[in-house]
Structure 1
C-alpha cells in the first residue's frame, strides 16, 4: 500500500509540474500599451533593440542607453529616447530636467498625461528611463 501511495504522489506531482511548465512556455510575450507601442514604432525602436523592455504586462516601458554609445550598435540611444518622449507628449521642462540630471542627483521622477516616469543618469551606466502607463494599470 505504501509503494502505491508513493507512486501515485510521484505521478501526480509530475503531472502538476508538467502542466505548470506547459502554461509558462505558452505564455504570450508581454504586449506593450498602445501608446508605448505607437511611440516606439514611430521612432523605429523595435523590441529587438538592446536597452528596450516592456514589463508589467505591457504597462511599463524601460529604455536604457549605453554609457559610451557605438554609432553602429542596435542599442537604444539618446536620440531614440528623445523621439519616444516627443511621441508621448512630454513637456519641454520635463525633458530639460531629464537631460540635465547628473549622477549625484540620483533617481528623479515626473508625471504627465497618465504616465509616471523615473530616471537616472550615470556616466558609467548611461541614461535609464522607466515609464508606467497608469491609465492601462487602472483599466486592469
Structure 2
C-alpha cells in the first residue's frame, strides 16, 4: 500500500484480513506517523468498535470473524466528525446491495447462498416454514459486485449433480458450490484469509 495513497484531508477506510491486514496496518500507521503504542493497542484485536485520537488523527477499528482475522480501520482528521459504524466488508456490502444480507456470517467473511430447486416448488414444501432462497437475479447482482470472473460463473453453470462439491479461488474470494435439480445451486463464498 503506497504511502501517497494514504495521506490527505479525507478519511481512510480500510478492510482487510489475515497476514495482509497486519502488514497494511503497520504501513498505514507508519504513514500517519503513529507510534508503536497505538500499533499494539490496535493489534490487541478488540471485537468492539474502538476509537482514539493520536497525533491529530482519529482512529477507529474493530476486528471480526471467528478467528478475529479481519480488520476494519478508519483514520480521519482529528477535528472532523467521528463515526459510529465501521466500514463494511465487501461481502457485507454486496449482500446488503443485493438483498441477501441475512446470508452474511462470520463477521462479514462468509456469504452462504441457498438457491431454489425443484423440491422447493412442491406442494408439500410450499406449506412448510418459508426459508429464503436466492434467485438468479440476486446471484447475478452478487457476482457483478464481487467481480466474480466469468470462468467461475461458467463452471457453476456447467456443474452437474454428480460432480459434487466444486471449489475455485478468484481474487480475494474462495468459492465452493454444489448443484442438484432438487436443491438448486448452493454457493459458499469466503473472503480469503492468509
Structure 1-normalised TM-score? Answer: 0.61
Where is the strand percentage greater, Structure 1 or Structure 2?
2
- Residue pair 2:113, 2:188 contacting (<8 A) in 1 also: yes
SS at match of 1:57: helix
Q: Is 1:46 equivalent to 2:101 in the alignment?
A: yes
Matches of 2:108 and 2:97 in 1, distance apart? 17
- Structure whose CA Rg is larger: 1
1:1-140 aligned at under 5 Å gives the runs 34-47=89-102, 52=103, 54-68=104-118, 75-134=133-192, 137-138=193-194
Aligned residues, how many? 99
Shift of 1:45: 2.6
Instruction: Give the RMSD, CA atoms, in angstroms.
Output: 2.3
Q: Give the unaligned 5+ runs of structure 1.
A: 1-29
Matches of 2:97 and 2:105 in 1, distance apart? 20
SS at match of 2:190: strand
Matches of 1:45 and 1:61 in 2, distance apart? 9
Matches of 1:55 and 1:45 in 2, distance apart? 11
Q: Give the unaligned 5+ runs of structure 2.
A: 1-64, 66-87, 122-129
Bigger RCO (CA 8 Å, 6+ sep):
1
| Displacement over 6 Å in runs of 4+ | none
Where is the helix percentage greater, Structure 1 or Structure 2?
1
